[in-house]
Amino acid sequence: MFKSPDRVVFGFLLRSRETQTKRSRQKSQEIQNYKRIQQQQERTIAELKQKLAETKFQLTQLKAENLILQRQAPVLPHDPPLPYHRFGAKMIALCVNLARRIGLRSCVSCLEIVFDWLGVTEELPKWTTVRSWLMRVGVAAIEAPVERAEDWIWMADHSSQIGPEKTLVILGLRASKMPPPGIALTHQDVRVLTVEPGVSWRRSDMARSYENLAEKIGLPLAVVTDGAVELREGAVVLQNRRENMLILGDFKHFAANVLKKIIGGSPAFERFTSQVGATRSAIQQTELGHLTPPSHRLKARFMNMAATLTWAQMTLWQLAHPNSKARRNITAARINDKLSWLKEFREDISRWNACQAVASMSITFINEQGLFHGAADQLAAKLKSLQTCDDSRKVADQLLTFVRQSEEKLAPGQRLPMSTEILESAFGLFKQLERQHNKGGFTSLLAAFGPLLKPSTPESIRNDFTRTSVQAMRTWVSDNLKTTLVSKRQDAFREFANARYHLQSENQ
């Protein structure tokens, strides 16, 4: 066997080690080169990603700018002006509907805000123009032809403001078009038949107005009024001409009179009412302001007594719970000084509230169900659980007797309304339209009573303006409102100013 010398073996191993060392250095260099290439590639990728993100952002901006460039300004619906008008039926209907909800000046201000937001530069009417439109539509509603039918029901009442004038308003509803049982009347279920201001409203005056309306639209099936003698007895003249015509009393007014008789006649209630008024004045501008009792008109307090009784119950609860949130930052001495007088009436308030509960349930029932044979029995079943004291039983007995006596007048199967609350609500809408002017007597805006019940449409505007001209509207105003309280006030100040001017001229 061949055996190399040691020096040869050592030389071979040495050369092999050097070769491996050289190869290792080469591999290490290659690895370093690859790392440098990888880092360069990573930097390149990061730069490309950044450029891609910037490109996407620029593309998004370009798209947005392109949409802005492509977008056209909002275009209002096609609405050609009506003959002899600067505005179309759609704009007029929009203004009339806005005005009946938010007022005349507010209507124009609202449209200005919306048009500015839309970037629309269309012309808008003045509030005085909207007022004229509203009055014109109102006169058209008052003078609109009425279909002749045998089942018309009239709801009549007076509205009064400052001054001697009262306005008679009669709303009409056909018995065959009453909403189904369980649903109360809405403004759109009725229509205006008469809006007639006047100073004198005796029975003979009411009889004349009733007869004038009957000549135009025929005799009614029923007339529903409150307890006013002239309204009720003035309708007797119609009853003489139509044997089956009914005169029905308004249930809510009757209920208020029952509450007045049973509750209002007691010395305790008079003291309670006096204390409520004094408390309102004493705390409404103090830290107890959130516990101020509600205000109400003295004349109608028994029609709106529920809010006061609810306030009394809430305040008694607060007095009994010193840790309530409503009593924070209020000392016990302070709240007791101003409100502890209610404790004296605790039992009275409970009794009065029971009476009010009976009246409220009865009013709701009559509003939703109407008057029909069997109404008293159904109402009695609903009131049974509410009669918790002698006074509440007395209220229930008188209300049920009134319903029974009224339903006896009906023919078999007949169902009629027994409330003028929808008319009271219409008066409220009119006062809201007048705003601060309702404290200055009736004005020509009375002509705008009609549109308050139903919204206008472009079609109804065209019809109303075709039937009722501006001159016809002005004629109605001049015929029905001879001299208003506002014009008399203006004359008084004008006369005074002229006299003062002449006196100063003479002194000079």
Give the containing element (helix H, strand E) for 368. helix 346-369
Backbone torsion region of residue 75, taken as left when φ is above 0, otherwise alpha when ψ lies between -120 and 50, otherwise beta? beta
- Residue 27 sits at φ, ψ, to 5 deg, of -65, -40
Decide: 170 and 213 in contact? Cβ < 8 Å: yes
Indicate whether this model's pTM tops 0.85: no
The SS3 assignment for 154 reads strand
- Distance from C-alpha of 460 to C-alpha of 93, rounded to nearest angstrom: 8
User: How far, rounded to the nearest angstrom, does the alpha carbon of residue 133 sit from its chain's CA centroid?
Assistant: 22
CA nearest to 441, candidates 488, 478, 477: 488
Place of tokens 């008066």: 427
pLDDT of 417 reads 95
Give percent helix, percent strand, percent coil of the chain, each to the nearest 5: 65, 10, 25
- Joined together, the tokens standing for residue 381 give 């079943």
What is the DSSP secondary-structure string of 223-279? EEE-S-HHHHHHTHHHHTT-TT-EEEE-HHHHHHHHHIIIIITSHHHHHHHHHHHHH
Residue numbers in the chain where pLDDT is lower than 70: 1-4, 9, 65-73, 161-164, 297-301, 436-441, 482-491, 493, 508
Structure letter (DSSP) for residue 144: S
pLDDT of 487 reads 57
Give how far Cα 100 sits from Cα of 106, 140, 170, 325, 461, Å. 10, 16, 20, 40, 14
pLDDT of 59 reads 84
pLDDT of 439 reads 55
Place of tokens 């947005």: 64
Span between the terminal Cα atoms of the chain, in Å: 160
Kindly list the domain boundaries of the chain, sorted by start residue.
1-71, 80-247+442-508, 255-416
